[in-house]
């Protein structure tokens, strides 16, 4: 059996590292509903697809006129 090279879901800490932001910023996005997470016991997991969706929802900068 082969496994994907990237994780299907990330912990809050790992998602923050991946996005270059803080744990607190991730929790704020979750609380505001701009990012969706899943609970596995006490642990909050953020699916990779949700991270990609959140990232694509951010404003685009540096677009030439």
35-51 per-position pLDDT tens digit: 999 999 999 999 999 99
Tokens of 54: 């959140």
> What pLDDT, on a 0 to 100 scale, did the predictor assign at position 57?
94
* Maximal C-alpha separation, the chain: 49
* pLDDT value at residue 6: 83
pTM metric for this prediction: 0.82
Question: What is the pLDDT, as a whole number, of residue 1?
Answer: 63
Assign 62 a pLDDT band (cuts: 50, 70, 90): confident
* Residue 9 bridge partners (DSSP): 47
Question: Which of 37, 32, 33 has the alpha carbon at shortest distance from 11?
Answer: 37
User: How far is residue 63's CA from residue 4's CA, in Å, rounded to a whole number?
Assistant: 34
């Amino acid at each position: 059996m082969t496994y994907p090279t990237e994780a299907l879901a990330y912990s809050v800490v790992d998602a923050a590292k991946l996005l270059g932001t803080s744990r607190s910023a991730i929790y704020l996005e979750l609380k505001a509903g701009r990012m969706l997470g899943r609970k596995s016991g006490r642990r909050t997991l953020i699916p990779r697809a949700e991270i990609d969706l959140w990232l694509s929802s951010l404003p685009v900068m540096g677009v030439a006129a």
